[in-house]
A and B are shown apart, each in its own frame.
Chain A
Amino acid sequence: MVIQYKCPNCGSDMAFDAESGKLSCPNCGRQDNIETFPEENIERKLDPEEAKEYHCENCGAVILTEAETTATHCSFCGAPVVLADRLTGDLAPAKVIPFTISKEEAVAAFREWTKNGRLTPRGFMSGDRIKKMTGMYVPFWLYDIDGTAEVAAIGTRVRNYQRGDTIYTETDFYDVYRAIDLSYLKVPADASEKMDDELMDKLEPYDYRELKDFRMPYLAGFLAEKYDYDDEALFSRVESKIVPYIDSYIHTTISGYSTVSYTNKQIQANKKNVYYTLFPVWMVYYDFENKEHTFAMNGQTGKVVGKPPISGGKVAAWFTGIAASTFVALKAVAYAMGGVLW
C-alpha cells in the first residue's frame, strides 16, 4: 500500500523532515505535526510493485505472492485464489480467452507430441517425465492498427526477341506509385517479462472467436500474471512484427512487372485500439537427462512449442537417408533421361 500525505495548502506531496521531526512541504514551506495531520489529506493506494499478504478463505493461511501474480493457489490447501485488487482499474484485463484444454487433455496431447519428435532421443519420446504442468493466463496486448503506406518504385517489363543473328532485349521502364490504407486487427504481443517472446510468438494464432469479456471466475484454478510492459512499450515490437506483412501486401498491389525496385517506401502505423487480454498457456516442465526442458502449449488450440533435445544420431541418420535416397532418385531420373548409372 502506498500512502501519500498531501499539503493542505497547495496539494503537493509532503515529506518527513528529519531536522524538525515534522511533515514538511517542499513547495510552500508549511510544516505539520504527524499526529495531528488531517485524515482527509492522507491518500492510500495500492503499490503495484509491492508483494502483498492475502489470507486463504478456506484455511486461513497467509498467501505471499509476487507483485505480478493476479491468480494463484493456496500453498497449504491448494484452493484457487484470485487477487481481485490486482485486477482492477488499469490492471483489469478487457478480454480473456478461456482454457478449452483441460489438464488431462494437455498431458495426453503433450505425450503424443513427444512421440512425434523425429529428431528427439528415444528416452525423451516416452513422454512420462513431466515434472510439472501449470495452467496460466499470460498477459498480452492486442493492437488494432490503422496505417498508411506510400511507395514509389521503378518497374520494368522486359521482352526478348530474335531477328536474324541478333537477339534484342527491349526494356520498358515505369514509374510506379501506390498509396494504401492499411488495417490489422488484434495483433498480439506478450506483456510478461518472464515469458520468452519467441515461444509466445510460436503459440499463435489464437482463435479470436473465443475471445470473451473479462470475468474473474475464468481465472479460478489457474495462475495469472499481470503485465510488466504497457501497450506503449510494446508497440515498437508489434510494428516490427507487421512490417513484413505490410511489405508482402504492398508487393501484391504491384504486378505485371519483370522487376520492381523501390525508390521510396514510407509506412506509418498507428494504434487504433488496444486490448489488455489474457491468453491461456499450459507450461510444461519436463525432466530429461538431468536437465529441465520448458515447453508451452496453447491452452486453446493445443499447439506445443519449445526446444526439445536433439539426438545427433537421428540427425545423422535422417541426413544420410535423405541424401542417399535423393542421390538414388537423381541417378534413376538421369538414367531414364538417357544417362548412365555411373
Chain B
Amino acid sequence: MLFFMMLTGGVAVSAADQHIYDQADLLTEAEESELEALAAEYSQQHESDFLFLTTPSTDGVPVMTYMGDFFDGWAVENGQEDAVLLTIDMGSREVFLAGFGTAETTLDNSRVDMVLDRIMPYMRIGDYGGAFRETVTTASRYMEFRPGANPESIFFKTWFQLAVSLVLGGVIVGSMVLNAGGRVTTTSRTYFDGNNTRVTSERDRFRNKTVTRRRIPKKNNSGGGFGGGGMTGGGRSFSGGGRGF
C-alpha cells in the first residue's frame, strides 16, 4: 500500500474527484460523465483542475463574486489552488472564466479573452457542454505557451511554419536552378557615366492635403465584456473575464 502511494505521489494527479458542478441542470447525464472524463484527463496533464460550474441564479450576487466564493470553498475542500473555472449564470445569462494559482499566469486575462471568443458561439446556441469542451481544449493548449506569448500568433502555427519552409525551399532551389548556368552580373552602375549624368531641373510642388479619420472600434464582446482579474473573498487572486450571452 505504501509502495502504491509512493508511486502515485510522483505523478501529477488531479486533486479533485469532481470537476462538473451542474447546478442549473444544463447537461444530460451522458454529457456530464463525458465532460467529467475530459476534465479529469486534461487536469492530470496540467496539474490545474478544469472546473465547470452552472447555476440557475446567483440571487443578485455578481457572477464574479459568486464564482470566487465557490472556488474558495472548493480549494479548501480539495486542497488544490490551481484551477481553471468556467461559470455560467443562467439568471443573468452571463459566463465567466477564471484562472487560479499557476493558471492565473498561464491563462492570463488576454488569453481568457481569446478563449471566450472561441466559446461564445456555443453559448449563443445553448450548447453549454460544447462551450466547456472548447474551454478545456483551448485553455489547455494556451497554457502550454510561455506567459506573455500570443498563442494565436500565426508564427506559432505549424501550417504557417511548414508553408514558409516550403516556399523558402522552393525559392532558394528555384534560384539555384535558374542561376546554374551563370547569371547577369551587370548592374545599373556598370556602364553608368557619373561625370556626365545629372539632374538638370527638379521641382517638388505641394498640391493638396487630405485627412481621413478612422474610429478605433470598441471590442465587441457580444453582450459586453466585464471583469478581468480580481481577488476572491478568501484572498485568492485570479485572472479572468466575462461576457453576456
Identify the A interface with B (CB < 8 A).
Answer: 117-120, 146, 154-155, 162, 165-187, 201-205, 242, 244-245, 248-249, 253, 303-308, 310, 315, 318-320, 322-324, 326-327, 330-331, 334, 337-340, 342
- Asked if B210 and A171 make an inter-chain contact with CB atoms under 8 angstroms apart, the answer reads yes
Report if A245-B197 is in contact (Cβ < 8 Å); known contacts: A318-B176, A322-B169: no
- Asked if A177 and B202 make an inter-chain contact with CB atoms under 8 angstroms apart, the answer reads yes
- Asked if A181 and B191 make an inter-chain contact with CB atoms under 8 angstroms apart, the answer reads no
- Asked if B200 and A340 make an inter-chain contact with CB atoms under 8 angstroms apart, the answer reads no
Q: How far is the CA of A181 from the CA of B201 in the complex (A)?
A: 10
* Residue among A204, A308, A323, A331 with max Cβ neighbours from chain B (10 Å): A323
- Asked if A245 and B188 make an inter-chain contact with CB atoms under 8 angstroms apart, the answer reads yes
Q: Which listed residue, A154, A162, A166, A327, touches B161 by the CB 8 Å rule?
A: A327
Report if A174-B149 is in contact (Cβ < 8 Å); known contacts: A204-B184, A326-B164, A327-B162: no
Give the nearest-CB partner of A169 in chain B. Answer: B212
Tell me, rounded to whole Å, the shortest Cβ–Cβ distance linking B237 to chain A: 22
- Asked if A315 and B177 make an inter-chain contact with CB atoms under 8 angstroms apart, the answer reads yes
Q: Which listed residue, A169, A253, A320, touches B214 by the CB 8 Å rule?
A: A169
Give the nearest-CB partner of A307 in chain B. Answer: B181
Chain A residues near B208: list those with CB within 8 A.
172-173
- Asked if A183 and B181 make an inter-chain contact with CB atoms under 8 angstroms apart, the answer reads no
* Residue among B147, B168, B191, B212 with max Cβ neighbours from chain A (10 Å): B191
Give the nearest-CB partner of A324 in chain B. Answer: B165
Tell me, rounded to whole Å, the shortest Cβ–Cβ distance linking B138 to chain A: 14
Report if A175-B191 is in contact (Cβ < 8 Å); known contacts: A167-B213, A337-B155: no
- Asked if B165 and A330 make an inter-chain contact with CB atoms under 8 angstroms apart, the answer reads yes
Chain A residues near B214: list those with CB within 8 A.
166-167, 169
Chain B residues near A162: list those with CB within 8 A.
216
Subset of 17 A-B contacts with CB under 8 Å: A118-B180, A119-B176, A146-B196, A166-B214, A168-B211, A171-B211, A173-B208, A176-B204, A180-B198, A184-B193, A187-B191, A204-B184, A204-B185, A249-B197, A319-B170, A327-B161, A338-B146
- Asked if B211 and A170 make an inter-chain contact with CB atoms under 8 angstroms apart, the answer reads yes
Answer whether residue B166 sits at the interface, using C-beta atoms and an 8 A cutoff.
yes
Give the nearest-CB partner of B182 in chain A. Answer: A305
The A-contacting residues of B in range 123-178, CB under 8 angstroms, are 141, 144-149, 151, 153, 155-156, 158, 161-162, 164-166, 168-170, 172-173, 176-177
| New A-B contacts (7) at CB < 8 Å, excluding given A245-B192, A310-B180, A319-B170 | A118-B176, A118-B180, A119-B177, A203-B182, A244-B188, A337-B156, A338-B148
- Asked if A182 and B197 make an inter-chain contact with CB atoms under 8 angstroms apart, the answer reads yes
- Asked if B182 and A245 make an inter-chain contact with CB atoms under 8 angstroms apart, the answer reads no
Chain B residues near A337: list those with CB within 8 A.
146, 149, 155-156
Give the nearest-CB partner of A252 in chain B. Answer: B188
Chain A residues near B211: list those with CB within 8 A.
168-171
Q: Which listed residue, A155, A303, A318, touches B173 by the CB 8 Å rule?
A: A318
Q: Which listed residue, B185, B198, B203, touches A181 by the CB 8 Å rule?
A: B198
Give the nearest-CB partner of B144 in chain A. Answer: A340
Tell me, rounded to whole Å, the shortest Cβ–Cβ distance linking B81 to chain A: 24
- Asked if A175 and B209 make an inter-chain contact with CB atoms under 8 angstroms apart, the answer reads no
Report if A308-B181 is in contact (Cβ < 8 Å); known contacts: A180-B199, A180-B200: yes
- Asked if A173 and B197 make an inter-chain contact with CB atoms under 8 angstroms apart, the answer reads no
* Residue among A117, A120, A327 with max Cβ neighbours from chain B (10 Å): A327
Give the nearest-CB partner of B189 in chain A. Answer: A245
Chain B residues near A181: list those with CB within 8 A.
196-198, 200
- Asked if B192 and A184 make an inter-chain contact with CB atoms under 8 angstroms apart, the answer reads yes
Answer whether residue B190 sits at the interface, using C-beta atoms and an 8 A cutoff.
yes
- Asked if A117 and B155 make an inter-chain contact with CB atoms under 8 angstroms apart, the answer reads no
